[in-house]
Amino acid sequence: MNAGGALFQISDDKIQKYLERLRLEYYALKVQEQRTRKDIQRMLLLSNVVEMYEQRKIIVDNLQSLKELKDDKDDEMVQLLKEEREAYGSILTRLDNEILNGILSMDDEEDYGSLIMEVTAGVGGQEAMLFARELFDMYCGYVEYKGWEIEMLQTEDTDIGGTRHATTIISGPDAYRNLKHEGGVHRVQRIPATEKSGRIHTSTVTVSIIPRPDDFQVDLKDKDLKIETKRASGAGGQHVNTTDSAVRIVHIPTGIAVECQTERSQQKNREIAKEKLLAKLTQIELEARFSSTQALKKSQVGQSLRNEKIRTYNYNQDRITDHRIEGGTAHNLKGFLEGGEQLDELIEKLRRSQRRKQLMDIINREC
């Protein structure tokens, strides 16, 4: 079967019970006098599947009526009945496939208007940092491909074009539902540009996806902040090193401290430091909120060891392998890392694979 393989048959009693439950849920929402935005979104999600399910019930009833008709000796009538049965049978097959596609594309897990994405270099030193930058650029490309919005919270780049750590907020329809599958350890196997002996190195990058509810906001009060200024150190010219432009902010309730000395202006460094602090507090608060229901970040990131991987990028073989699904291998690494259609296709495979498992759990548990 196109959508669900041998796992699902729409005619199965358990699937029928599940579909009937969706139908009752839809009409219960429809008659509500006051509906929340969440209720309206759920209704829109259910409406197409419920409509096809009701059409299917009519077709099944019509087929049953045809079967109950006694055989007629009139050859022309026999032929008409045969053609009608075949026509209904064809419609039933199409509806079954469409209903399967419909319920597999639904997601019963809560969605969120935005998310925080962290990309962090793991094992592998400079090579891991270089690949962290490539992955981060891939996700920026994917955000553009999907028409979502991205807000940079924090980046820590290296002198050779790598990234130690990058944090962003991504907002858009289904952004969380798509990108939640990207959380975990990504492994790269390739010969670094600095490797003279031609030996393949293995490095890792961790990606963390943290949902961000629409009503979420961290209140950063001035009375909770201890702000210190000092002379900047390191490169930057005479002006940077002879004025108190560097800023350090301590969040007194949590003890979290951030620093910024990237700009010549103390005011600009203060603004950047506040943004960094807000990003850290937001991340901590969201992780705490969701840790009671799921070991979210731990399950995604693990310990950033080489063997805890969700996906491998093998440059020597020009191959991407996602280890969570069958058929999770693709080629053309350059195209994949652009963050366009190839990445989107793999994410859709992951969504449908997870939905199959989710659906089986619901049906076996409740139907």
Among 289, 321, 338, the domain-final residue is: 289
Mean pLDDT, residues 19-48: 89
Do 118 and 211 sit in the same domain of this protein?
Answer: yes
Mean pLDDT, residues 152-166: 87
225-230 sheet: strands from edge to edge: 225-230, 246-251, 256-260
Q: How confident is the model at residue 307 (pLDDT cuts 50, 70, 90)?
A: very low
Range of the domain at 233: 222-289
| Tokens, residue 194 | 């600095």
Q: Is residue 343 included in any domain, yes or no?
A: yes
Strand partners for 331? 319
Residues 6+ apart with CB under 8 A from 147: 172
CB-based contact 104:18 (threshold 8 Å): no
Q: Is residue 278 included in any domain, yes or no?
A: yes
Rounded to 5 degrees, what are φ and ψ at 246? -75, 140
Q: Is 237 exposed, middle or buried (0-12, 13-18, 19+ CB in 10 A)?
A: exposed
- Check which CATH number belongs to the domain holding 149 and give it: 3.30.70.1660
Q: Is residue 88 included in any domain, yes or no?
A: yes
Do 77 and 101 sit in the same domain of this protein?
Answer: yes
Do 119 and 96 sit in the same domain of this protein?
Answer: no
Q: How far apart are CA 229 and CA 37, in angstroms?
A: 46
pLDDT in tens, 194-226: 777 778 899 999 998 888 776 667 788 889 999
Total structural domains within the chain: 3
Q: Is residue 2 included in any domain, yes or no?
A: no
Rounded to 5 degrees, what are φ and ψ at 151? -125, 120
Q: How far apart are CA 71 and CA 82, in angstroms?
A: 11
pTM for the structure as a whole: 0.68
- The 8-class DSSP code of residue 73 comes to S
Q: Is residue 298 included in any domain, yes or no?
A: no
Q: Is residue 57 included in any domain, yes or no?
A: yes
Numbers of helices and strands, H then E, in the chain: 10, 11
Do 86 and 124 sit in the same domain of this protein?
Answer: no
Q: How confident is the model at residue 72 (pLDDT cuts 50, 70, 90)?
A: low
